[in-house]
Amino acid sequence: MTIGNKDNRPEGAAEASPPGAGDGPMPRRSASPIEFRLDAASGVPTYLQLVQQVEHALRLGYLKPGDQLPKVRDVVAALAINPNTVLKAYKELETKGLAAGRPGQGTFVEATLTQVALPELTGLHKSLLGWLASADAAGLDEDGIVALFASALRDFYKRRGGTGERRGEASGETEGVA
């Protein structure tokens, strides 16, 4: 997913999905600060990819309440997908209390998810880029890097005594739901 970098975020901080996830950015046609990408090889249904990208953008603070999501017709035109797929994604976001449709205007963000403050996010992003450079230098390809990260993440949550689920995900809770 590519998210518009209109807030002077650090270089590269706008990329919220795994490297190479997508077939190119969606052309800007609306005032929305988010552009969707699709990864046909991911095995994740298209509508869920859209939902996950909005959730990632909310977690990272790139989207906030009041922001407009891209209009359905713009997503359909840019990604060559069925309008019902976009409508299903937006309906899922509404069900989760994260977005709401406004007749004749579009779909708008209504709530946010847990997010890290920008200074901490910048430091974490820089550290992660260093780790990725080390993994690349060690000879790992993208799939190897993803596998290693997923394994380390599972181990981290296991040691913490958690289930490996992200906070709020199991119960479907959101923060700031109006």
CATH topology of domain 2-109: Arc Repressor Mutant, subunit A (1.10.10)
Task: Give the separation between CA 113 and CA 144, rounded to whole angstroms.
Answer: 29
C-beta contacts of 38-46 below 8 A and 24+ residues apart: 38/79, 38/81, 46/81, 46/85, 46/89
Task: Check pLDDT > 90 for residue 164.
Answer: no
Tell me the pTM.
Answer: 0.59
Span 87-93, average pLDDT: 97
Q: How confident is the model at residue 62 (pLDDT cuts 50, 70, 90)?
A: confident
Who wins on pLDDT, 39 or 163? 39
Q: Structural domain boundaries of the chain?
A: 2-109, 118-159
